[in-house]
Structure 1
Amino acid sequence: MILSEKKAGILLHVTSLPSSHGIGDLGSACKEWLDFLVKTEQQYWQILPIHPVGFGESPYQSFSAFAGEELLLDPEWMREKGYLTSSELKNTPIFDDEVVDYQKIGEWKEKLFYQAFLRFRKESGANDFAQFCEQHKDWLDDYALFRAIKKKEKERPWHQWPEKLKKRDSQVIRQFSEENVELIQYYLFLQFCFFMQWQKMKKKYTEQNIKIIGDLPIFVAHDSADVWANSQLFDLKEDGTPRVVAGVPPDYFSVTGQRWGNPHYKWNEMKKNHYNWWSRRLEHLLTMVDIIRIDHFRGFEAYWEIPEEEITAKNGRWIKAPGDELFKELKKQYSSLPLIAEDLGIITPSVRALKKKFGLPGMKILQFSFYPGLKKRERPYEYEKNTFAYSGTHDNDTLVGWIQTEAQENKSIALRIKKQHGIDVYDNVEKTCWALLEVLFSTNAGVVIVPMQDYLCLGSEARMNYPGTIANNWRWRVKKEAIGDEFLAVKIKQLTTKLNRFRKKRN
């Protein structure tokens, strides 16, 4: 994928959208957000992974690499379809409009959705449902079964289930399925609703020429339907636990590195059927989004392997990965791979060569561009055209948070910004934030993406994630007033238009 015209977009996960249901949803929340994007001359909406969140509510530790997050379902859509009644929606709890309370929302929506499912079951015309289940059976059946067993096993991870369920003994699986038809059907129903809602939403974005950038984590969660159903593709011990786990080595930002805990792939096994699991995964996600950000792209060239018993990432080693072979297989499906390489961290010439060979745009982060000792290509005035440039990502502090800490406390950063861009980081912080956003928009990068928190000039309290921690991440929500703020919309539009990143009229 080669970027030609200059464009702009906003990073805001679906969960962060304002709604009366405690979490962003695929109904009116997405519609109001679409209006905001059009009004501000944006052409991209970037989101995080949209799969069912597991451990720590992290979208990067999901129960499935294919299923959709059921909490994003809009109950109003279910009412319109006749699955819920107006009276059943009257007693909606009052939710916090600043943070997502996953437990409270989950408990309320589960009761609501099960009622919708029971009403749906009584319908005679379920052709669309049957067609959906058939179309997605290669992952859907395993996912629904996995969730049903987890429910019965009190949400224990699959490697702690009874041995025959853990090992997918065909007779035991058949018996469980026969005894739990309703529960399995419930999880099928939720996925049916999710994909119906998603496609309805996506159609509106396509009509307005807004492209959605999805996110594909390189690794999947150990406690997932993917690993349970395809254990031969993952590097596991006999008891089902990982032999080695994924992460990254120590660097400037972490003296112990990051131990993510995901299992590694058995790449030799995947090679036997031409990386079919990866082909299916990519093809499936591209039915939902227009472009995919490949998280931790460098892991396709070489990955950091950590012994499972290690509690930090320090004692790992680099292992060569078959990225070249994999992308050759994927290239057979697409004339131009619609992928963004998240090429941050320890990037070697081999990683850059892999990205270049397949014509993938990379990423630049404005916050990382002012540190001493960087190569020239890392500075804002040297960003390449085929680049997606960000003020920050979900893993960074907000731009204001960064200004108030790193930029103001590190004199070399403050001096560089002052000398090269004429910006005083000790000035009014909101003024500084917008001045730095103008620097970003002025770069040669084909696309610039700004997290919504940075347009709102919010501090560290609005940060989405603190890498390496578990508690209180992935919860931030934008307030409804911000989406309706005409002054803010005009300001974003002016910045976008001034620097020639506005929406060009189609013929």
Structure 2
Amino acid sequence: MLRGFGVLLHISSLPGGCLVGDLGPSAYRFADFLSEAEATYWQILPLSHTLPEYDDSPYSAASLLAGNPALVSLEKMAQLGLAKRAPPSCPPAERARFAEAWELKRRYLEEAFEGRLGWRDYEEFAARNSWWLEPYGRYMALREAFGGPWTAWPAWARRPNADLPPRLERRADFYRYVQFHFWLQWEELKRYVNSLGVFIIGDLPIYPALDSADVWEGQRYFKLAPDGAPLYVSGVPPDYYSPTGQLWGTPVYNWAELRRDRYVWWTRRLTRLLSIFDYIRLDHFRGYAAYWEVPYGEPTAVRGRWAPGPGEELFRAAEDALPRLIAEDLGFITPDVVELRYRLGIPGMRVLQFAWDGNPANEHKPHNYERNLVAYTGTHDNNTTLGWWREETTPRSRREALAYMGGCRGGVSWCFIRLLFSTVADVAVVPMQDALGLGSEARMNKPGTARGNWKWRMAGDPPRAVAARLRRLARIYGR
């Protein structure tokens, strides 16, 4: 990756839009902000179709490949001549309101669908993407009819190749049509962002949710019982921070079955995502070396076991993708994970918030960085730097950080940004909340909590002074 810096901000956190940040004008203004700051990268979270039952987490989505309908911009629909009427004046929303946004936008999209607006282009889009779009549409139509997850559906509907009644087939076509709008708008935005010299970093969750088109359509690629219930679910083992581990609850892969098919199911998804992003962050990279699986029904992750992942063989099946991958190698990292990343030659991740434990050998301390890294003040799973400093650090760790930086003037967030920019890591990424100096009220996600996450939004377009400050640091440190 080119030496430079980026900003982490999900589309839903943009200002403007209708009840949630979307692919409309504010996304283009944010791209202009990045250009003015002379940023090289814009990192986002998965664009996937989120569900209110799972707090609209982009990591528990209805599909790894389908865009989130709530992020479709009604303004862009009108600009492109694909709306039956002018978009409404939406009420302000300090926090993202995904379900309400989709309910409002659904009516406009249904009108466009009934009017067959852009139909020829839609049919071309559907033909090019049929391998994932067809099952996704069927899944959403059945889910609308029977609820979720698919394991509770009638037996006939649990079969992904089942024919649908005409009414449900029409709903399936509607959901496919929504995807046409989403990806049309995304492709236009990406072209604009790239024209400014900015690359987009996307995200691939390691596991799809049980309640997803991916698992429903690819059942034999997961460790499932005959009725579809998982035999094992994902998580991480107990550690210093969590005596019972973390139980994520998604089904785990049947890697032997994937291998028999030369990993085509997985590599097709990776290839598709690399056609819509410039780089991909591989969530929970350690799971590709070995993963923690827990028998289904266990209340915690304590009774899990390590199982071997596919390792290098999986990535050699997608060799051309390697220069555009980033390994999220955080957490319990063993030598086999480090060796896998080095053999593949892909950058890992470091996080400044993890550096202050009194250990000079801590890999998150800047003097231990290498060039082939993407380094962060914090990620979407961390508190903001200011919130972390005020609420989660100890007096000892604060003293250590201040001594390391030689003191701090001008706000702790910017002291950390300066330190991050000064490192040898090829890429430095700053969450937008840190660039704005915000506290824990702006936190995006708190792992281990089921509600109240993924809702933060910027109050307005970022000030030009923030762009100037980032630009100045980027020039000082050759980013």
Residue 489 of structure 1: how far off its partner (Å)? 2.0
In 2, the alpha carbon distance for the partners of 1:367 and 1:24 equals 27
Q: Give the counterpart letter for 1:35 in structure 2.
A: D
Matching of residue 498 in structure 1 with residue 476 in structure 2: yes
In 2, the alpha carbon distance for the partners of 1:69 and 1:103 equals 11
Render the CA deviation track for 1:307-344: whole Å, top value 9, x for unaligned: 1111211221111111221011111x34x431000000
Equivalent runs, 1:37-116 vs 2, <5 Å: 37-54=34-51, 55-87=54-86, 89-90=87-88, 92-96=89-93, 98-116=94-112
Question: Alpha carbon RMSD of aligned pairs, Å?
Answer: 1.6
SS of the aligned residue for 1:378 comes to coil
| Unmatched segments (≥5 aa) in structure 1 | 502-507
Matching of residue 458 in structure 1 with residue 451 in structure 2: no
Residue 254 of structure 1: how far off its partner (Å)? 2.1
The match for 1:156 is: 148
Render the CA deviation track for 1:386-429: whole Å, top value 9, x for unaligned: 0000000000010001111233xx233122223222125xxx7x
Matching of residue 198 in structure 1 with residue 186 in structure 2: yes
Matching of residue 29 in structure 1 with residue 26 in structure 2: yes
Q: Give the counterpart letter for 1:111 in structure 2.
A: R
Equivalent runs, 1:117-132 vs 2, <5 Å: 117-119=113-115, 121=116, 126-132=119-125
- Among 223, 234, 245, the alignment partner of 2:222 is 234
Q: Give the counterpart letter for 2:423 in structure 1.
A: T
The answer (yes or no) to whether the contact 1:382–1:444 under 8 Å persists in 2 is no
Render the CA deviation track for 1:79-130: whole Å, top value 9, x for unaligned: 233332444x23x33131x2101222122111222122112x2x5x733221
The match for 1:258 is: 246
Residue 468 of structure 1: how far off its partner (Å)? 1.0
Q: Give the counterpart letter for 1:133 in structure 2.
A: A
- Among 13, 21, 29, the alignment partner of 2:10 is 13
- Among 137, 146, 170, the alignment partner of 2:130 is 137
* TM-score, with length taken from structure 2: 0.96
Kindly tell me: are residues 349 and 374 of structure 1, through their superposed partners in 2, closer, same or farther at Cα, counting changes over 3 Å?
farther
In 2, the alpha carbon distance for the partners of 1:86 and 1:493 equals 41
SS of the aligned residue for 1:337 comes to helix
The answer (yes or no) to whether the contact 1:233–1:267 under 8 Å persists in 2 is yes
In 1, the alpha carbon distance for the partners of 2:374 and 2:332 equals 18
The match for 2:313 is: 325
Equivalent runs, 1:284-299 vs 2, <5 Å: 284-299=272-287
Matching of residue 414 in structure 1 with residue 369 in structure 2: no
The answer (yes or no) to whether the contact 1:301–1:321 under 8 Å persists in 2 is yes
| Unmatched segments (≥5 aa) in structure 2 | none
Q: Give the counterpart letter for 1:236 in structure 2.
A: L
The match for 2:344 is: 358
Q: Which runs of 4+ in 1 moved over 3 A?
A: none
SS of the aligned residue for 2:200 comes to strand
Q: Give the counterpart letter for 1:415 in structure 2.
A: R
The answer (yes or no) to whether the contact 1:145–1:177 under 8 Å persists in 2 is no
The answer (yes or no) to whether the contact 1:83–1:117 under 8 Å persists in 2 is no
Q: Give the counterpart letter for 2:206 in structure 1.
A: I
The answer (yes or no) to whether the contact 1:44–1:210 under 8 Å persists in 2 is yes
In 1, the alpha carbon distance for the partners of 2:364 and 2:31 equals 33
In 2, the alpha carbon distance for the partners of 1:57 and 1:320 equals 31
The match for 1:423 is: 407
